[in-house]
Amino acid sequence: MTAILPPGMRHAELVAEVDDVPVAEGAVIGVAGRSGGRAPMSLHVRADMRGRGLGRLLLDRLLDQTQQWGLPGAGTDVDDRDSGSLDVVRRWGFDVAAHHRESVLDLRQLDVVGCERAVGEAERQGYRFVEVSTDDPAFETMYEHLVPLLMSSPDNDTAEEPLPLPLVRGLTTGAPPMLAVYAGDTLAGLTLLMPRERDEALNTMFTGVVPEHRQRGLATALKAEHALRARASGHTRIFTQNMDGNAPILAANDRLGFRPDSGYYELVIDLTRHESLAGPVSRPQP
């Protein structure tokens, strides 16, 4: 998680080793980027080393760091098919904040005619689409427009700080450029993709439409045009994640041919809850 962080961004990363071999790792970033202003956190323990207290030990140390930053707690994600991990983190004091549906669009079977129809309808309404690459000086200006859309999105779930611009640049580098839609000279919406290296695919980072331009099919048109351009560049799949209650964007995904793939739970823990439920940390078992 921390490999893509820009220099100077506060973070903590811990690794547990046995005979110089990493068996568990955890990281936390010092921004209020999760639900309720909590810090983004990740934890992983190798399957054969679980049940020995390593994960709990890393969690305790990372929450100590979170407290030093003055943040109220931390948030992480667990695959909704991983019931074992979900049970463990709930015993540690985490609560489920939301469930996100993950879907995938196979660009090899993309409904090109349907996508072109959605884009054409937006253009007939007077909208135009513009690409902005991450190394373009205009990207910073576009990010300033992105922030209020991102913070007001239903999928944002009350995070109190946006992701810093350098981190957004790092996340999206290597993907098709940011795609914006304009009404004249006025920005009407944005969408971004990021590489998803583990699946040799792309992942939607964000799609948002300015409130006064909603209910005109722009979210569908943005995602359709981005899919067409990604397909033309040789990409084969796009993943996306959205909260169960975000009906407009889920409907747009369905219209474009995204199909449910899996999902994940967003879990959060407050420092006070961790201290009251978890108690002192015991020494990991050898």
Q: What are phi and psi of 170, to 5 degrees?
A: -65, -40
3-state helix vs strand vs coil in the chain, percent to 5: 40, 35, 25
Q: What is the pLDDT of residue 206?
A: 86
Please provide the CATH number assigned to the domain covering 2-101+266-278: 3.40.630.30
Residue 225 contacts residue 207 (beta carbons within 8 Å): no
DSSP 131-176: EE-TTSTHHHHHHHHHHHHHHHSGGGTT-SSPPPHHHHHHHHTTSS
Tokens 């979900």 found at: 86
Which CATH superfamily, name and number, covers 112-256? Answer: Gcn5-related N-acetyltransferase (GNAT) (3.40.630.30)
Global pTM? 0.74
Alpha helices in the chain (DSSP H): 54-68, 83-91, 112-124, 138-152, 165-172, 218-232, 247-256, 271-278
3-state secondary structure of 222: helix
Q: What is the pLDDT of residue 139?
A: 84
Structure tokens that stand for 250 in this block: 């889920």
3-state secondary structure of 233: coil
- Topology match between the domains 2-101+266-278 and 112-256: yes
Q: What is the pLDDT of residue 155?
A: 58
Q: What is the pLDDT of residue 282?
A: 43
Q: What is the pLDDT of residue 26?
A: 95
Tens of each residue's pLDDT in the chain, 286 residues: 555 676 778 999 999 999 999 999 999 999 888 888 899 999 999 999 999 999 999 999 999 999 999 999 999 999 999 999 999 999 999 999 888 889 999 999 999 999 999 999 999 999 999 998 888 888 888 778 777 776 666 655 555 566 778 778 888 888 888 999 999 999 999 999 999 988 999 999 888 888 899 899 999 999 999 999 999 999 999 999 888 777 888 888 899 999 988 889 999 999 887 665 545 444 444 4
Domain boundaries, the chain: 2-101+266-278, 112-256
Q: What is the pLDDT of residue 36?
A: 83
Q: What is the pLDDT of residue 170?
A: 81
